[in-house]
Amino acid sequence: MGILTLYMMYTERGIFLVAIQKDRAGVDPDNTWTLDSALKRYDDQYVLTMTYTDGQNKQERQGQFTKPVNNYFDENGELCFDLFEPEVRQLQASLAMEKKEK
C-alpha cells in the first residue's frame, strides 16, 4: 500500500486523464494527451494543465489555464459543464494548432 501511495504522490501527481490519440492511417505511433489539475488549500485558483506528447518524435507541448473555481460552479456546488468545456477545448485546440504549424 505504501508503494502505491508513493507512486501516486511522486509520479502521477494530479494527473486525472491520459488519452491516446490513434493515428488515422495506423502508420505513425499514437499521440498522448495528459490532463492534470491542481487546487491549493485555501486558494480559489484552479489550474488545469494539458500536455501533448507527439508519438513520432516524443516532443512534449504543454498549456495551462488558471481561473477561479467559482467560474465553473453554481450556487448548489454543481459543475457547470457548459462553462468549463469551452475552456478545455480552447486549450486543446491551441496545442493541436502548434502541432500543425511545425
Per-residue model confidence as pLDDT tens digits over 8-23: 665 567 788 888 988 8
3-28: string of b/e by CB count within 10 Å (b at 16+)?
A: eeeeeeeeeeeeeeeeeeeeeeeeee
d(CA 24, CA 77): 40
Enter the DSSP assignment of 29.
P
pTM surpassing 0.85? Answer: no
Cell of 86: 469551452
Local confidence band at 4 (pLDDT 50, 70, 90 cut-offs)? low
